[in-house]
Structure 1
Amino acid sequence: MGSVKQVQVTFDCAEPERVARFWCEVLGYVVPPPPDGFATWDDFHLSLPPEERGTSFVCSDPTGVGPRLYFQRVPEGKVVKNRVHLDVRAGTGLVGEERLATLEAECTRLLALGAVRVRLLEADDENESCIVMQDIEGNEFCLD
């Protein structure tokens, strides 16, 4: 029985590079260097046949701890709620007003990047507060 060494999260989207760069800003991720022999990603993409240009993009955690994010172009648009989503853990360990203030500050930063605030889910007997948001192509995520 093998063991999993790494996890990659894949996003279906219309504009892979745009969405990848958004998530780089959200998470502090980076775009890896272009393949050997290419000075830039643009140079690499221009070397591809026209139908393959811009079909995917990648970003990764510079510390190597978080999962690699892969963005692939798909022909159909998003029409229903995600079955899987990311939780952006900005308020870990915080509770009450301190947690809400931290989440609201991070929400403001993400709104400036193009994210959309959907709703605040207030704390209850089981869960702390979180803010449901959408990325620049409408993929839901929780600011937690």
Structure 2
Amino acid sequence: MAREVQVTFDCADPGRLAEFWAEALGYRLQAPPPGFDSWEQALEAMGVPPERRNAASAVVDPDGAGPRLFFQRVPEGKQVKNRLHVDVRAAPGLQGEERMAALEAEAERLVAHGATRLKRFEPEPPLAFGHIVMADPEGNEFCLD
């Protein structure tokens, strides 16, 4: 039996990282529980103190196809390179210069939202199509593929 998958990010600022990944993937912030117009209202009703209201956040695929991304605050900062990373398919079906131009445009857009560009890998036919390595606002590496 197949299982649902959630990808969890340990981070310092769950709200900011959730907003970044929602922008990067075309996701949306997860809606508050039924009966509440906002997360602020829900957390207030649950008795969560203000200093703990950014302890977690989540984004979801509006079409329900992709995994939920969950962001949880942890006390320690990022230590080393990721052992697992997200590939953002920003140029599916494109090749050569057209592909790299689409990746460059997406890299530029995400830098405007807090990402950092790390390295560009040129296409090396027949198997490598080229990609750009990026980091989200907290330094988690991902690829524009």
TM-score range, shorter chain: over 0.9
Segments of structure 2 that go 5 or more residues without pairing to the other structure are none
Cα offset for 1:42?
1.3
Q: Which residue pairs with 1:15 in the alignment?
A: 13
Cα offset for 1:48?
3.3
Q: Which residue pairs with 1:38 in the alignment?
A: 36
CA distance in 2, matches of 1:93, 1:48: 49
Cα offset for 1:44?
2.0
The aligned runs of 1:102-141 (5 Å cut-off) are: 102-125=102-125, 126-141=127-142
Cα offset for 1:52?
4.1
Segments of structure 1 that go 5 or more residues without pairing to the other structure are none
Bigger mean CA offset, 56-65 vs 33-42:
33-42
Contact 1:45 1:54 in 2 (8 A): no
Asked if 1:29 is matched to 2:27, the reply is: yes
CA distance in 1, matches of 2:47, 2:10: 21
How many aligned positions are there? 142
Cα offset for 1:120?
0.1
TM superposition score normalised by structure 2: 0.92
Cα offset for 1:61?
0.3
Name the Cα RMSD after superposition: 1.3
Q: Which residue pairs with 1:91 in the alignment?
A: 91
TM superposition score normalised by structure 1: 0.92
CA distance in 2, matches of 1:45, 1:84: 32
